[in-house]
Structure 1
Amino acid sequence: MHHESTTLSRYARPGRLTSAGAYAGLLDAVPADPAAIARTIQGLVIHEHIAGAYGVTLSDADRRSVHLRPAAELLAGIVTRDDRPLDVPREPEHRMAGNCRHYSVLLVTVLRARGVPARARCGFGDYLAQGRYEDHWVGEYWNAEQRRWIMVDAQLDEFQRELFGIDFDTMDVPRDRFLVAGDAWARCRAGRADPDTFGLTGTDEAGWWWIAGNLMRDAAALGTTELLPWDSWGAMPEPEETIDEERMALFDELARLTREPDEHADELRRLCADQRLRVPPTVRNDLRHRDEPV
């Protein structure tokens, strides 16, 4: 129980990227219920790759916000576009451009600000592209009454649930519909899934290298550093790179620990201190082709 309490307390307080900072007071307007929090975020953020379905055309300037990492900067971007209270939903054209990671980080930010243990998870959903496991982020929060982590896809509003044909409760995502990266890795290693079905349909990229990248991002998020989907560092493979046996063994161990992170919290922290996995002060933004501070 003491170990569980220590683990949960870690996720119940803001991290360096999930602190609202000077914008903390804005969160007072956000409802307390996780489903209402998700709906609030959906009224503030528009996914850059789905904006067209809402009748919105994003400019290059609009898209700059997808590179924001800290929640405080996301909140600044939201209120710069529209300074009304956060519980007032914006019209789609007035929402800040983001992606699944941004929805998840904002969900975690609000929950942690209220002392609710929460964390972002990086992996793959089977419900966004037919026959594929699509690169995706969700959030988890600890339900003390049920004594379990509940997985939430904060991105999927009513419109997207219809668009993607969602047939499950997005406020309690089944764990066979969203696979954390460690589960994806383990399934592929056991021959129960094809690594070439795990990636991003929009760029027609997939494979072991993509799963390994998400595995490192998920481990970083479990360490309360929620990086961008295109940030890279350390042992992360290059696109289409064949992973050598040493790193395959490293990723095997990382997958084992991240699949049950609470049971292996101490082991996971020790492994992630390895220089091959440890998040450095500066990471590579692969879309901008430059190094950026975390």
Structure 2
Amino acid sequence: MTAIDFTHWRRHSAMSDPGAHRSALKAACGDGAPSTLVRVAQGLLLHDWAGSRLYGPPPAHVLDADRTTLPTAQRLERILAADPRPLDQPRAPFDRSVGTCRDMALLVTALARSAGRAARVRCGFAAYLAPGFWEDHWICEIEDQGAWRRLDAQLDAAHRAALATSFDPSELPPETFLDGPEAWRRIRCGAAKPALFRHGEEAVGAWFVRVNLARDQLARTDRLVSEWDRWRCAAWLRRLDARAEAEADRWAAETEGRG
């Protein structure tokens, strides 16, 4: 396999750039170790759905929080306006900024790039969020000894206890997360059943795997669409004809064997 060129992924994008808070974010990176970056992100963000159920009755502002994916500069502006302490000091759960798994992945990506490490957001499916299913999810990949290492900052201690996971969230084991291309190739060759890939019960099957394949293609170019882009509600996306399948096959093939 060709060596990965990480150069592009060490540079901030419009979404990961901390803007006026560049020095504050860099200071929070500490030694830049994946475990440090995950810990910092966990102390700043609260997952909008799971997080609101793991720490006791949530206040109204948590339940009513806007779920739009924010650029890192805007996210940090909100965090520091609410609590001006250094970013490596964890906030109490309900004092954290509320976001989705995509926000978690984006913040870890921003931290890693601020520490001089290559990192990127990936969209796909996790095996550990709903037993027996591959659940819609977003994570971060970080440069580690010439390869990509997968991290999931959402998995703090409360999440790990609730989900009964024992692995280190700063290094996801193989077969715990499939990115969009990996998931699409598996269902196309018959190695996995399309019905096992889903977002709850509202979006299930091959058409939704195609949605996350497209989202991952955009993420790999640092263009993060919003979690609430409503793609899953578009009727035309739910109809997979031969032309749509061939197009998705081409997208997935373009990423195979590449960094």
Q: TM above 0.5, one fold?
A: yes
> Which one scores higher on RCO, CA 8 angstroms, separation ≥ 6?
2
The range that moved more, 98-107 or 26-35, is: 26-35
Q: Secondary structure at the match of 1:19?
A: coil
Shift, 1:211, TM fit: 0.9
- Over the aligned positions, Cα root-mean-square deviation in angstroms equals 2.2
Shift, 1:38, TM fit: 0.7
In 2, distance between residues paired with 1:11 and 1:132?
A: 31
Kept after mapping to 1: 8 A contact 2:54/2:158: no
1:165 aligns with 2:164: yes
Amino acid at match of 2:227: P
Report the equivalent of 1:230: 228
In 1, distance between residues paired with 2:73 and 2:106?
A: 11
Amino acid at match of 1:222: R
Report the equivalent of 1:267: none
Q: Secondary structure at the match of 2:67?
A: helix
Kept after mapping to 1: 8 A contact 2:43/2:89: yes
Shift, 1:65, TM fit: 4.0
1:189 aligns with 2:188: yes
Question: Percent identity over the alignment?
Answer: 33
Shift, 1:174, TM fit: 2.1
Aligned residue pairs total: 255
Q: TM-score, normalised by structure 2?
A: 0.90
Report the equivalent of 2:141: 140
In 1, distance between residues paired with 2:238 and 2:98?
A: 31
Kept after mapping to 2: 8 A contact 1:65/1:77: no
Report the equivalent of 1:26: 24
Deviation per residue, 1:70-95 (Å, 9 max, x gap):
11111112122222111111111101
In 2, distance between residues paired with 1:231 and 1:240?
A: 13
Report the equivalent of 2:35: 35
Q: Secondary structure at the match of 1:46?
A: strand
Deviation per residue, 1:134-191 (Å, 9 max, x gap):
1101111111xx3211111111011211111113222221231100111111111111
Amino acid at match of 2:95: H
Report the equivalent of 2:211: 213
Report the equivalent of 2:150: 151
Q: Against the structure 1 CA distance between its residues 154 and 61, is the aligned structure 2 distance closer, same or farther, given a 3 Å change threshold?
A: closer
**Structure 2 unaligned residues grouped into runs of 5+:** none
Amino acid at match of 1:126: A
**Structure 1 unaligned residues grouped into runs of 5+:** 263-294
Report the equivalent of 1:288: none
Shift, 1:33, TM fit: 1.8
Report the equivalent of 1:252: 249
